[in-house]
Amino acid sequence: MVDKLKPNDPRVQSLTANVRGKTYKYILAKPEGDKPPRATALLIHGWPDLGFGWRYQVPYLTSLGLQVIVPDMLGYGGTDAPQDVGLYSLKNIADDMAELVAHVTAGDGDADGDGRIILGGHDWGGMAAWRLANWHPSLIRGVFSVCTPYMPPRPEYADLDTVVRMLPNFRYQVQLAGPDVEREVGSDPDKIRGLLTGIYGARGPAKEHVFTTDKGVIFENLDKMGESPLLSGDEVDFYVEQYARNGMRGPLNWYRTRRVNYEEELALLQDGKAPKLTMPALVVVAEQDPALPPRMSEGMEAHFDSLKRATVGGTHWALWDSTADVNAAIGKFVEDVLSKPVKSSI
C-alpha cells in the first residue's frame, strides 16, 4: 500500500493559479520517472474537507502512472473565498475546473495523446464532478464519484424545504445554508477544531455528537469532542489552520446555490431532461453513510451509457476509513477507462 500524503508532503507540488479572476491553490502530483503520464486525474473534495482529503488516493493514482491535480475548492483553504454566492454555482465551479485543467496541462501530453482527464469527486465534489461532466463532456475520459449519487438537472425548481421532505437525510442542509454555523463557528480555531473532529468521528465523554443529519451542528457540544479516529493530530492541526484562514462562509456558500444552480442548469436540458452522460462512469457507495445512503443512487443507470458500481463498508469518510476498497474500485475503473481505444475529444 502506498503511503498517504502528509501535510506539506515533498512528493507533491503545492501551487497556485489564477482561474477566471480567482486564485486557486492546488496540489500537483506526478508519477515517478521521465515517462509522460498515462493520463491526468482531477480530484474534487467536498464539505468539510480540503484537497488534502484525497491524501490516500493521490499516491495510489500516481503509482498507476497518472498525473493528479487536487485543488482546494472555492472558499476553502488556500483558495480564494469570495462573498458572492453566485460564484459558487456548479456551472461556475465547472468552468473554473476546466480552466484549471487547461492551465496545468498546457503544453503537456499524455502517453497516448488522448488529452482528456479522469475526474473524481466526493461529497459536494461528487456533485461538482457530475456537473463538470454535464457542462464539459469533451474534457472527460471517465468520471467517478465516492458517496455522491448523480442528480440530473430538473425542469422544475425545488426549494430546500421541498427536498428535505423527500430526503430527510438532507435536513442538516437547512442549518448549513442559514447564518447559524457561520456565526457560531466563524474563524475561531477551537470551534473549528471541535466541529471538524466531531464530523470526522470524534465523540464527547458521554458519546455526544457534534453533528447529525437531522440536527446539523450541535453547538453546545463543540468543546466536548475528543480525538478523531480518522486523522492524526498533525492532520487535524492542518485542517484547523486552513479553515481558520477564511472561516466558514465560503465553504457554506455551496449550500446556498440551489436557486442559481437551477436557473443555470436549464440550459443543459433538451426536451425537458439532460442528455445521458456518454463517458464511462463509476459510483462508489458507502454502506454506513447517513448523509448519502446507497439507496440514493438507485436508478442512476438511466442517465448513463456506461455506469459501473462499487459498494464499500465505510462511512461518509470512505476515502479514509475504507481506503483499500475505495482505491481498488477506482484503480479498476481507471484501468478499464485507459484500456479503451483513444478517440478524439473534439
> In the predicted model, what is the mean pLDDT of residues 124-151?
99
345 pLDDT band, cuts 50/70/90, is very low
> Which pLDDT score is estimated for 112?
74
Domain harbouring 27, CATH code: 3.40.50.1820
Share of the chain above pLDDT 90, in %: 94
Q: Are the C-beta atoms of 283 and 289 separated by less than 8 Å?
A: no
Q: 208: which 3 cell numbers?
A: 455526544
Enumerate long-range contacts of 127-130, CB under 8 Å, 24 or more apart. Answer: 127/46, 127/90, 127/151, 128/44, 128/73, 128/90, 128/93, 128/94, 128/97, 129/44, 130/277
Q: What Rg, from alpha-carbon coordinates, does the chain have? A: 19
Residues with Cβ within 8 Å of 208's Cβ and at least 6 positions away in sequence, in order, are 218, 221, 224, 225
Catalytic residue among 123, 289, 303, 321: 123
Looking at residue 59, its amino acid is P
CA distance 241 to 176: 21
Is 263 domain-assigned?
yes
Is 246 domain-assigned?
no
Q: Are the C-beta atoms of 263 and 291 separated by less than 8 Å?
A: no
Active site (annotated) includes residue 123 = yes
Phi, psi of 54 (to 5 degrees): -95, 25
Q: Is the pLDDT reported for residue 159 higher than 70?
A: yes
41 pLDDT band, cuts 50/70/90, is very high
Is 289 domain-assigned?
yes
Q: Is the pLDDT reported for residue 1 higher than 80?
A: no
Is 3 domain-assigned?
no
Q: Is the pLDDT reported for residue 218 higher than 70?
A: yes
Q: Is the pLDDT reported for residue 222 higher than 60?
A: yes
> In the predicted model, what is the mean pLDDT of residues 220-243?
98
> Which pLDDT score is estimated for 326?
99
CA distance 32 to 107: 19
Say which residue, 137 or 34, is predicted with more confidence.
137
> Which pLDDT score is estimated for 245?
96
Count, residues in the chain:
346
> In the predicted model, what is the mean pLDDT of residues 329-340?
97
Is 200 domain-assigned?
no
Secondary structure of the chain: what % helix, strand, coil (to 5)? 40, 15, 40
Looking at residue 36, its amino acid is P
Question: What is the count of structural domains for the chain?
Answer: 1
> In the predicted model, what is the mean pLDDT of residues 27-48?
96
The model's pTM = 0.97
> In the predicted model, what is the mean pLDDT of residues 67-88?
98
Q: Residue 112: give the domain boundaries.
A: 13-158+258-339
Nearest to 58 by CA among 111, 13, 116, 16: 13
47 pLDDT band, cuts 50/70/90, is very high
Q: Is the pLDDT reported for residue 176 higher than 50?
A: yes
> In the predicted model, what is the mean pLDDT of residues 201-224?
98
Between the CA atoms of 137, 139, 144 and 149, what dihedral angle is there, to the nearest 10 degrees?
-30
Catalytic residue among 114, 122, 316, 321: 316
Q: Is the pLDDT reported for residue 161 higher than 70?
A: yes
Find cell 451509457 and name the residue: 305
Q: Is the pLDDT reported for residue 208 higher than 90?
A: yes
CA distance 262 to 156: 8
Active site (annotated) includes residue 316 = yes
Is 233 domain-assigned?
no
Is 235 domain-assigned?
no
Alpha-carbon distances of 46 from 71, 127, 223, 238, rounded to whole Å: 11, 9, 24, 17
> Which pLDDT score is estimated for 107?
67
Share of the chain above pLDDT 70, in %: 98
Nearest to 79 by CA among 59, 49, 55: 49
> Which pLDDT score is estimated for 295?
98
Q: 15: which 3 cell numbers?
A: 501551487
> Which pLDDT score is estimated for 109?
67
Query: How many degrees, rounded to 5, is the angle at CA 123 between CA 32 and CA 274?
Result: 100
CA distance 55 to 50: 10
Q: Is the pLDDT reported for residue 303 higher than 70?
A: yes
281 pLDDT band, cuts 50/70/90, is very high
Average the pLDDT over each of 98-112, 173-187, 268-282 and give the range with the smallest value. 98-112
Q: 205: which 3 cell numbers?
A: 465523554
Enumerate long-range contacts of 96-99, CB under 8 Å, 24 or more apart. Answer: 96/19, 96/20, 96/22, 96/24, 97/42, 97/44, 97/71, 97/128, 97/132, 98/132, 98/135, 98/136, 98/139, 99/19, 99/20
Q: 246: which 3 cell numbers?
A: 477564511
Q: Is the pLDDT reported for residue 344 higher than 70?
A: no
Is 4 domain-assigned?
no
